[in-house]
C-alpha cells in the first residue's frame, strides 16, 4: 500500500479556503450570495414589525371582481372611485394601473361613425329630427367616452399619480426620439457620483391621462439572484434624465418636496427626507409583515358606500390589484406572494419612517478583515489545539459573529454578511477535523490490516542492527513488489559485504522469483561460480568488511596468494589454503578480523600486529611454524605461513585420550626448545596453550601464532567479545606486570600438567576466581592426582609454574635438560 | 524551537560495565535514555539496540506517511504515537534477536524517550527510567516508574517511606524485550520558555533526591555541565549503579510569537 508522502498541511488548507472565501465575498459569487440572502430573509422576518403610516390600499380584489364583473372594468368605475376618494379628502392617490391605450370597449367608435354618417346626409341640416338625433348621439358619445371621463376625474382630483414602465437594458438608449415633454417635469438631472440602471424604452400612460395626472413614476422592480424582491430602485436613467420611482414620487408629493430638491450621494435626500442608497440608487426594503399588514379596503365596498366617511382623509391611497389571476404577486422576504401595491406601500412607509435596511459602507471591509482573522485562526491556531477545543472556539466565534449580525440587523437595520464567515469557519473546521480523522483512520487501517508493513519495518530494523538473517526472515513474509525488491537487493548486498555469499545468493534468488531486477542475474552468476570456497572471514562481524571477489571464474587472491579453499575458522579469523603462484608453494593463510577492535585503537593495534608478526617471521626453527609473509589488502590483514597437516594439542587434553608421560615429555621438550630459541631472539609468545601447539602427522611439534595472538586479544575491544578463559596465563600476566620468556614457561607448565593428568592446575567458578587462584594458589603435585605419573615429570611441571619468577626455570634450555634427564631415568627403569 | 541539549553517562562507582545508553539527536528531535538488563553485557547490547532501532525508525519516518506499530492512540499527539511505535518496534527487535541468540537470552532494557516537534514534546517510557520537567523553579515528574515498588505504592500497599527503604527497588515490571509487545506510557506537553527536561536512569534517581536534581538542573546555563554535575552527585552518594542524564533546555526567547501568546494565556 502506498501512502501519500506528504498530506496537505493544515495551514495550506486553511489559507486556500480563506482565499477562496475572500474572493467569493468580493466577487459576490452567486451560491454564497444565495446563502447570504437566505440569512437576510431570516433576519428580515425576525425584524418585521407593524409600523404606523399614512398609506391605505384600495384593493381590486376577488370580491370586487365577483360583484362588478370581469377585468378590465369600464374606466368610469375608476373615475367614480377617484371622485369618492377626492370627496373623502384623500391626500394623494396612487393609481397603480398602467393605462397605455385608449378605451375601445364601449362602442364609442361605432357611435362616432354613426354621427359622421348622419352629418354626411344631405338633408342633415334641414331636418330638425335628424338634428335632435345628432344631439342625442353626441350626448351618448360623451357618455361613452370613458377615457375623457377618467381624465376629467383625475384633473378634478388634482392629486392622482400614475405609473410608467421602463425597459431596462445595458444598451444605450435610442437617442433619435426626443425626450418626451412629460418627462422633463417628472425627472431629475443626475449627479456624477451615481451609476444608475439604464432604460432604453419607456411605456407611459396615454397623453390624455398624463396631462391630467399630478406626477409620474416608474414601477420597475429589480429582483436578486434568487428571484426575490428586496430592494427598490429609486431612480432609473432614461436618456440623460433620472426617472424617480412611483413610490418616491408619492412620498415627495406627500411631503410637498419638489423633485429638484433631491440630492444624491450615499443617501438620497430631499428636505427632511433621507434614504440610504447604494451606487445604483437602490434602497433595501424593510418589510413590516406578510401581505395584509397595511389597511386594505375592497374596491366594491367603497363603491357601495360601506366604508365610513373620513377613512381616506389625508391618507396616501394606493389603488391596485390583489385579485387572483390579475395581480402579479411578487416574491419578497416577507411573503412568497406579495401584492405589488403593498410593496409600494411598504417603500413609502420605509422612506417616511426611515425604516429601510442599510448595508453600511464599512460592512465589506469589516467582513473581509474578519474573514482573514478567521482564516489565520483556522490555519495556524486550530491545528495546534486539541480537536475539542478548536471546535468550541470555532463555535463561539460563529455564535458571536452571527449574534452580532442578527442584533445589528434587527435593531439597527444594518446588514452585515453572515454567510461567508460562518461558511469559512464551518467548512474550514470540518475540513481540518476530517483530515485529522482520515489520517488517523488511514494509519489505523495501515497498521491493523497490514502485518506486512510491520514485517517490513522489523526487517529494516534487524538489517540496521546487522541481524541479516532475521531481516531476511521478515522480508520473506512481504510480497515482492518494487519497494520490496529494492529492500531485498540492499539486504543481499549487505550479505555480500559480510561475505555470506550463499545467503546473498538466496536473497537474489528470492527477488528473481518475481522477475529480473537490476543486475541480479549477473550477481547470482558470479556468486554461483565463486561457490562455497569463496567464504572469506567468519560471519557475524558487525561492521562491513570488504568483499574480495573477482569477476568470472578466476580465483580470488589475497596479496600475491591465490585462495584455494577454506581450512577452518578460529577466534581471530579464517584460515584458507592458499598458493604462492611464484614458487608454487602451498601456504596457510590466516586472515585477521580487526572488526571488533575499537576504531580509536585500530591503527595502533594494526601497527603492533605487523610489528610482532614481522618479528615472528624472522624465527626459523623446526619447532616454530614458519611465517612467510604478512600483508594487508582491502582492510583485511593476513599472515601467510607454513602449511601444517596435523591438529593442535587441545584434542589430547581429555581423560580418554591422555598421552603417555613419555610422549608428553617429548612434546614439552620440543616446545621448550622452540621457546628457548625465540626467547633468545627476544620474542615472547604470550599465549602458550594446547590450541597453539600443533602436532604434525609425522609427529613433529610446532608452535603456532607467535606474537600474533596476544596482539589481538589484548586490544580493548568495543563490542566486548567474551574473553577466553585465562587458564594458561602466568601470574605476572594476570597481574598485568611486565612479561618475559619465563611467562611462556609458566604457561608451558600448565599445558604439561594438563596433558599429563587431563586436569587443569588452576580453576575457578568465575574468571575473577581463576585469576585469583593463578596468582595465589599452588596446585597439588600432578602425581598426587595420578600415581602412575613419574615423579620427575611432576617435578618439572611444578618447577615450571612456580609463582616466584626467579625460582622458576629461567630458560627453555634448562627444561630441555631436565626432560632429557627424566627421559633417561624413565628409559632405564 | 530553539533548544540546547546534552547527555552524559558513567558506569558509577560499583558496576564493572555500563549498561546504560543514551541518544541526543536534536536533528530528529529525539532524546532518550535506556538502561539495559541482562547478563554478560547483553544489557548493554539491549539498551544500545533499543536506541539504535528507535533512532533509525524515527529517521526513516520523519517525512511523514509512517506506519504505526501497535495502532494509534487518539488521546495523544501524532508525535507521541510515532515515538511509541518506534519503541514497540525496538522491543520486538530486541525480543526476536534474543530468541535467536542464546547469549542474549532474557536481555531487555528500560527506556525513556522524548520527541520534540516544534513546541510540543512527547514523552514515552517503559520501566524505571524517568523524565522530569523543571519549570518555574520546581521539578515535576513526568513518568511513573514501572517497578514493583512503585506499583505497590500506587496501589496503596506500601507507604512511600517503606518504598524508600525497600531492597526490591530494582525489580521492574515492564521492559523492552521481555515480551513481544511492550506497553508504552505516553505524555504530551507544550514547552514554555526556560523549561528544562531531564531524562535519566534509576542510577541517578536512586542516589540523588528530586530536590537536589532540581537545584543542580537550575544551577547552570550549560547542559553539559548540568549532566556531568548530576552524574558526579550520584557518584558522590555512592554511585551504586550506572548513571545517565540527558538534559534538554529551552532557550529563552526562542518560542514563536504564537507560542508566547499561548504561554502568556496559560499563565495569566
pLDDT digits (tens, 9 = 90+) for B55-102: 989 988 776 556 677 777 888 888 898 999 999 999 999 998 888 777
State the cell numbers at A208: 390624455
Q: How far is A530 from chain B (nearest CA, A)?
A: 29
Give me the residue label for grid cell 611462556. A744
Q: How far is A757 from chain B (nearest CA, A)?
A: 32
* Interface contact B258-A453, CB threshold 8 A: no
Q: How far is B37 from chain A (nearest CA, A)?
A: 16
Chain A partners of B67 at a C-beta cutoff of 8 Å? 3, 443, 446-447, 450, 453-454, 456-457
Among the residue ranges A2-6, A449-453, A673-677, A817-821, the one predicted with the least confidence is A2-6
| pLDDT in the model for residue A551 | 40
* Best B44, B68, B78 residue to mutate vs chain A (most A CBs within 10 Å): B68
What chain A residue is nearest to B261 in terms of C-alpha separation? A381
* Interface contact A465-B52, CB threshold 8 A: yes
Q: Are A627 and A685 in contact (CB under 8 A)?
A: no
Among B17, B40, B44, beta carbon nearest to A722: B40
Q: How far is B142 from chain A (nearest CA, A)?
A: 20
* Interface contact A447-B71, CB threshold 8 A: yes
Report which of residues A701 and A429 the model is more confident about: A701
DSSP annotation of A788: T
- Hey, is B44 helix, strand or coil? helix
Cβ neighbourhood burial of A20 (10 Å; 0-12, 13-18, 19+): middle
A32, A485, B258 from A24: Cα distances, Å: 7, 50, 29
Question: pTM of this prediction?
Answer: 0.48
Q: Which residues contact B147 (CB under 8 A, 6 or more apart)?
A: B127, B128, B169, B170, B171, B172, B173
Among the residue ranges A80-94, A596-610, B138-152, the one predicted with the least confidence is A596-610
Q: Are A283 and A231 in contact (CB under 8 A)?
A: yes
CA–CA separation, B118 and B78 (whole Å):
13
pLDDT digits (tens, 9 = 90+) for A288-317: 988 888 999 999 999 998 888 888 999 999
| pLDDT in the model for residue A294 | 92
DSSP annotation of A260: G
| pLDDT in the model for residue A534 | 39
- Is the per-residue pLDDT at A119 higher than 70? yes
- Is the per-residue pLDDT at A504 higher than 70? yes
What chain B residue is nearest to A440 in terms of C-alpha separation? B72
What chain A residue is nearest to B17 in terms of C-alpha separation? A720
* Best A9, A457, A476, A721 residue to mutate vs chain B (most B CBs within 10 Å): A457
pLDDT digits (tens, 9 = 90+) for B95-134: 988 887 777 878 899 999 999 988 889 999 999 999 999 9
* Interface contact B100-A470, CB threshold 8 A: yes
What chain B residue is nearest to A4 in terms of C-alpha separation? B65
Query: How far separated are the first and last CA of chain B, in Å rounded?
Result: 22
Q: How far is B228 from chain A (nearest CA, A)?
A: 23
Helix extents (H) in A450-563 = 451-464, 468-475, 482-497, 501-512, 520-530
What chain B residue is nearest to A446 in terms of C-alpha separation? B67
Among B53, B68, B96, beta carbon nearest to A464: B53
State the cell numbers at A123: 338633408
Among A5, A440, A461, beta carbon nearest to B93: A461
Among A444, A470, A722, beta carbon nearest to B97: A470
| pLDDT in the model for residue B141 | 94
Chain A partners of B65 at a C-beta cutoff of 8 Å? 3-7
- Is the per-residue pLDDT at A431 higher than 70? yes
- Is the per-residue pLDDT at A550 higher than 60? no
- Is the per-residue pLDDT at A539 higher than 50? no
Helix extents (H) in A243-362 = 246-254, 299-303, 340-353
Chain B partners of A6 at a C-beta cutoff of 8 Å? 63-65
| pLDDT in the model for residue B173 | 86
Q: How far is A492 from chain B (nearest CA, A)?
A: 19
pLDDT digits (tens, 9 = 90+) for B217-230: 999 999 999 999 99
**Average pLDDT over chain A, rounded to an integer:** 82
* Interface contact A470-B74, CB threshold 8 A: no
Chain B partners of A447 at a C-beta cutoff of 8 Å? 67-72
* Interface contact B72-A440, CB threshold 8 A: yes
* Interface contact A458-B93, CB threshold 8 A: yes
Chain A partners of B69 at a C-beta cutoff of 8 Å? 447, 454, 457
- Is the per-residue pLDDT at A722 higher than 60? no
Q: How many CB atoms lie within 10 A of CB A531?
A: 12
A478, A501, A754, B23, B132 from B214: Cα distances, Å: 49, 56, 60, 22, 9
* Interface contact A447-B72, CB threshold 8 A: yes
Chain B partners of A380 at a C-beta cutoff of 8 Å? 258
Q: How far is B118 from chain A (nearest CA, A)?
A: 10
- Indicate the pLDDT class of residue B30, thresholds 50, 70 and 90: very high
* Best A10, A443, A461, A767 residue to mutate vs chain B (most B CBs within 10 Å): A461
pLDDT digits (tens, 9 = 90+) for A67-105: 998 888 888 899 999 999 999 999 999 999 988 888 776
| pLDDT in the model for residue A514 | 83
pLDDT digits (tens, 9 = 90+) for A773-813: 888 888 888 888 888 888 888 899 989 988 888 889 999 99
Chain A partners of B89 at a C-beta cutoff of 8 Å? 457-458, 461
* Best B18, B65, B188, B257 residue to mutate vs chain A (most A CBs within 10 Å): B65
Chain B partners of A8 at a C-beta cutoff of 8 Å? none
- Is the per-residue pLDDT at A500 higher than 80? no
Cis upstream peptide for A653 (omega within 30°)? no
Residues of A with CB under 8 A from a CB of B: 3-7, 380-381, 384, 439-440, 443-444, 446-448, 450, 453-454, 456-458, 460-462, 464-465, 467, 469-470, 720, 722
State the cell numbers at B95: 525480543
Q: Which residues contact A787 (CB under 8 A, 6 or more apart)?
A: none
CA–CA separation, B86 and A63 (whole Å):
86
CA–CA separation, A245 and A168 (whole Å):
13
Q: Which helix (H) or strand (E) element contains residue A242? A: strand A241-244
Query: How far separated are the first and last CA of chain A, in Å rounded?
Result: 87
State the cell numbers at A590: 590466516
CA–CA separation, A713 and A593 (whole Å):
12
Most confident of A530-539, A610-619, B59-68, B174-183: B174-183
- Is the per-residue pLDDT at A116 higher than 80? yes
Q: What is the mean pLDDT of residues A245-252?
A: 92
pLDDT digits (tens, 9 = 90+) for A154-181: 999 999 999 999 888 877 655 656 778 8
- Is the per-residue pLDDT at A200 higher than 90? no
- Residue (of A689, A799, A686) closest to A738 by Cα position: A686
Residue A289 CA to chain centroid, in angstroms?
50
Chain A partners of B41 at a C-beta cutoff of 8 Å? 720, 722
Q: How many CB atoms lie within 10 A of CB A720?
A: 13
- Indicate the pLDDT class of residue A532, thresholds 50, 70 and 90: very low
Report which of residues A449 and A293 the model is more confident about: A293
* Interface contact B97-A462, CB threshold 8 A: yes
Q: A682-703: b or e for each residue (b if 16 or more CB lie within 10 Å)?
A: ebbbbbbbbbbbbbeeeeebbb
Interface size, chain A vs chain B, as Cβ–Cβ contacts under 8 Å: 81
* Interface contact A7-B64, CB threshold 8 A: yes
* Best A3, A379, A443 residue to mutate vs chain B (most B CBs within 10 Å): A443
- Hey, is A700 helix, strand or coil? coil
* Interface contact A447-B89, CB threshold 8 A: no
What chain B residue is nearest to A467 in terms of C-alpha separation? B97
Amino acid at each position: 500500500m502506498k501512502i501519500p508522502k506528504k498530506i496537505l498541511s493544515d495551514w495550506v488548507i486553511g489559507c486556500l479556503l480563506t482565499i477562496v472565501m475572500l474572493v467569493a465575498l468580493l466577487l459576490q459569487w452567486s451560491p454564497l450570495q444565495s446563502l447570504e440572502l437566505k440569512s437576510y430573509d431570516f433576519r428580515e422576518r425576525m425584524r418585521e414589525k407593524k409600523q404606523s403610516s399614512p398609506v391605505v390600499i384600495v384593493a381590486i380584489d376577488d370580491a370586487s371582481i365577483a360583484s362588478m364583473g370581469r377585468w378590465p372594468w369600464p374606466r368610469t368605475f375608476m373615475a367614480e372611485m377617484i371622485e369618492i376618494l377626492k370627496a373623502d379628502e384623500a391626500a394623494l392617490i396612487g393609481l397603480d394601473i398602467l393605462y397605455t391605450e385608449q378605451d375601445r370597449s364601449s362602442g364609442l367608435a361605432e357611435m362616432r361613425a354613426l354621427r359622421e354618417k348622419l352629418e354626411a346626409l344631405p338633408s342633415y341640416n334641414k331636418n330638425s329630427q335628424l338634428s335632435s338625433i345628432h344631439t342625442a348621439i353626441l350626448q351618448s358619445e360623451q357618455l361613452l367616452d370613458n377615457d375623457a371621463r377618467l381624465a376629467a376625474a383625475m384633473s378634478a382630483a388634482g392629486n392622482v399619480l400614475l405609473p410608467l414602465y421602463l425597459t431596462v437594458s445595458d444598451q444605450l438608449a435610442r437617442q433619435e426620439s426626443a425626450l418626451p415633454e412629460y418627462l422633463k417635469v417628472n425627472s431629475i438631472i443626475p449627479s456624477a457620483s451615481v451609476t444608475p440602471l439604464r432604460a432604453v424604452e419607456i411605456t407611459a400612460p396615454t397623453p390624455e391621462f398624463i396631462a391630467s395626472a399630478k406626477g409620474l413614476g416608474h414601477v420597475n422592480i429589480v429582483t436578486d439572484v434568487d428571484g426575490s424582491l428586496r430592494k427598490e430602485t429609486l431612480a432609473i436613467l432614461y436618456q440623460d434624465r433620472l426617472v424617480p420611482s412611483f413610490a418616491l414620487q408619492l412620498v415627495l408629493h406627500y411631503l410637498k418636496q419638489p423633485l429638484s430638491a433631491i440630492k444624491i450621494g450615499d443617501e438620497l435626500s430631499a428636505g427632511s427626507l433621507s434614504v440610504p442608497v447604494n451606487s445604483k440608487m437602490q434602497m433595501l426594503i424593510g418589510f413590516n409583515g406578510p401581505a395584509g399588514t397595511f389597511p386594505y379596503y375592497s374596491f366594491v365596498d367603497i363603491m357601495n358606500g360601506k366604508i365610513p366617511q373620513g377613512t381616506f382623509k389625508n391618507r396616501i391611497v394606493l389603488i391596485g390589484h390583489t385579485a387572483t389571476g390579475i395581480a402579479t404577486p411578487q416574491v419578497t422576504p416577507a411573503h412568497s406572494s406579495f401584492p405589488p401595491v403593498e410593496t409600494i406601500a411598504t417603500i413609502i412607509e420605509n422612506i417616511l419612517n426611515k425604516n429601510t435596511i442599510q448595508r453600511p459602507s464599512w460592512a465589506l471591509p469589516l467582513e473581509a478583515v474578519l474573514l482573514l482573522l478567521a482564516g489565520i485562526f483556522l490555519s495556524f491556531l486550530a491545528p495546534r489545539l486539541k480537536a475539542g477545543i478548536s471546535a468550541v472556539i470555532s463555535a463561539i466565534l460563529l455564535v458571536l459573529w452571527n449574534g452580532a449580525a442578527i442584533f445589528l440587523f434587527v435593531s439597527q437595520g444594518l446588514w452585515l454578511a453572515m454567510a461567508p464567515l460562518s461558511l469559512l469557519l464551518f467548512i474550514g473546521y470540518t475540513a481540518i477535523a476530517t483530515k485529522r480523522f482520515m489520517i488517523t483512520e488511514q494509519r489505523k487501517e495501515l497498521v491493523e490490516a497490514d502485518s506486512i508493513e510491520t514485517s517490513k519495518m522489523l526487517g529494516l530494523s534487524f538489517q540496521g542492527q546487522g541481524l541479516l538473517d532475521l531481516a531476511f526472515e521478515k522480508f520473506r513474509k512481504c510480497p515482492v513488489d518494487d519497494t520490496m525488491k529494492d529492500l531485498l537487493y540492499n539486504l543481499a548486498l549487505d550479505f555480500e559485504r559480510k561475505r555470506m555469499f550463499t545467503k546473498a545468493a538466496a536473497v537474489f534468488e528470492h527477488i528473481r522469483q518475481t522477475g529480473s531486477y537490476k543486475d541480479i542475474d549477473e550477481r547470482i552468476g558470479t556468486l554461483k561460480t565463486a561457490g562455497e570456497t569463496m567464504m572469506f572471514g567468519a560471519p557475524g562481524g558487525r561492521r562491513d568488511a570488504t568483499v574480495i571477489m573477482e569477476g568470472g571464474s578466476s580465483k580470488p587472491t589475497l596479496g600475491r596468494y591465490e585462495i584455494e579453499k577454506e581450512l577452518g575458522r578460529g577466534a581471530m579469523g579464517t584460515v584458507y589454503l592458499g598458493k604462492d603462484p611464484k614458487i608454487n608453494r602451498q601456504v596457510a593463510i590466516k586472515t585477521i578480523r580487526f572488526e571488533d577492535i575499537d576504531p580509536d585503537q585500530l591503527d595502533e593495534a594494526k601497527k603492533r600486529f605487523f610489528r610482532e608478526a614481522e618479528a615472528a617471521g624472522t624465527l626459523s626453527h623446526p619447532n616454530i611454524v614458519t611465517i612467510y609473509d604478512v600483508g594487508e589488502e582491502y582492510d583485511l590483514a593476513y599472515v601467510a605461513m607454513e602449511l601444517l597437516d596435523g591438529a593442535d594439542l587441545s584434542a589430547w587434553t581429555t581423560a580418554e585420550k591422555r598421552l603417555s608421560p613419555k610422549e608428553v615429555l617429548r612434546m614439552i621438550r620440543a616446545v621448550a626448545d622452540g621457546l628457548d630459541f625465540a626467547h633468545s631472539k627476544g620474542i615472547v609468545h604470550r599465549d602458550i596453550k594446547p590450541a597453539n601447539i600443533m602436532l604434525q602427522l609425522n609427529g613433529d611439534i610446532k608452535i603456532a601464532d607467535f606474537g600474533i595472538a596476544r596482539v589481538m586479544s589484548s586490544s580493548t575491544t568495543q563490542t566486548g567479545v567474551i574473553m577466553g578463559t585465562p587458564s594458561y596465563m602466568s601470574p605476572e600476566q594476570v597481574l598485568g606486570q611486565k612479561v618475559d620468556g619465563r611467562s611462556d614457561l609458566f604457561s608451558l607448565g600448565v599445558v604439561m600438567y594438563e596433558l599429563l593428568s587431563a586436569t587443569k592446575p588452576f580453576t575457578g567458578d568465575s574468571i575473577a576466581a581463576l585469576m585469583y587462584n593463578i596468582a595465589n594458589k599452588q596446585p597439588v603435585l600432578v602425581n598426587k592426582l595420578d600415581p602412575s605419573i613419574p615423579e620427575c615429570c611432576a617435578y618439572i611441571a611444578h618447577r615450571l609454574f612456580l609463582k616466584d619468577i626467579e625460582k622458576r626455570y629461567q630458560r627453555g634450555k634448562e627444561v630441555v635438560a631436565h626432560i632429557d634427564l627424566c627421559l633417561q631415568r624413565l628409559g632405564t627403569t | 524551537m530553539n533548544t540546547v541539549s546534552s547527555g552524559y553517562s558513567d558506569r558509577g562507582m560499583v558496576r564493572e560495565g555500563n549498561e546504560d545508553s543514551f541518544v541526543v539527536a536534536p536533528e530528529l528531535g529525539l532524546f532518550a535514555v535506556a538502561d539495559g538488563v541482562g547478563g554478560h553485557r547483553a544489557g548493554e547490547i539491549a539498551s544500545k539496540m533499543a536506541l539504535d532501532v528507535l533512532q533509525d525508525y524515527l529517521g526513516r519516518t520523519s517525512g511523514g506517511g509512517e506506519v504505526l506499530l501497535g495502532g494509534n492512540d487518539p488521546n495523544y499527539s501524532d508525535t507521541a504515537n510515532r515515538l511509541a511505535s518506534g519503541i514497540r518496534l525496538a522491543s520486538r527487535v530486541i525480543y526476536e534477536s534474543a530468541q535467536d541468540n542464546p547469549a542474549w537470552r532474557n536481555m531487555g532494557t528500560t527506556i525513556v524517550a522524548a520527541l520534540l516537534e516544534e513546541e510540543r514534546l512527547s514523552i514515552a517510557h517503559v520501566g524505571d527510567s524517568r523524565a522530569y520537567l523543571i519549570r518555574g523553579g520546581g521539578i515535576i515528574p513526568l513518568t511513573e516508574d514501572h517497578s514493583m515498588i512503585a506499583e505497590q505504592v500506587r496501589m496503596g500497599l506500601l507507604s512511600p517511606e517503606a518504598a524508600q527503604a525497600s531492597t526490591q527497588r530494582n525489580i521492574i515490571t515492564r521492559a523492552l524485550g521481555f515480551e513481544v509487545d511492550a506497553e508504552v506510557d505516553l505524555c504530551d506537553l507544550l514547552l514554555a520558555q526556560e523549561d528544562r527536561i531531564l531524562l535519566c536512569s534509576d542510577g541517578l534517581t536512586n542516589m540523588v533526591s528530586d530536590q537536589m536534581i532540581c537545584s543542580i538542573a537550575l544551577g547552570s546555563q550549560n547542559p553539559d555541565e548540568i549532566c556531568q554535575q548530576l552524574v558526579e552527585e550520584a557518584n558522590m552518594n555512592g554511585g551504586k549503579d550506572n548513571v545517565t542524564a540527558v538534559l534538554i533546555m529551552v532557550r529563552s526567547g526562542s518560542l514563536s510569537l504564537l507560542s508566547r501568546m499561548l504561554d502568556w494565556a496559560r499563565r495569566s
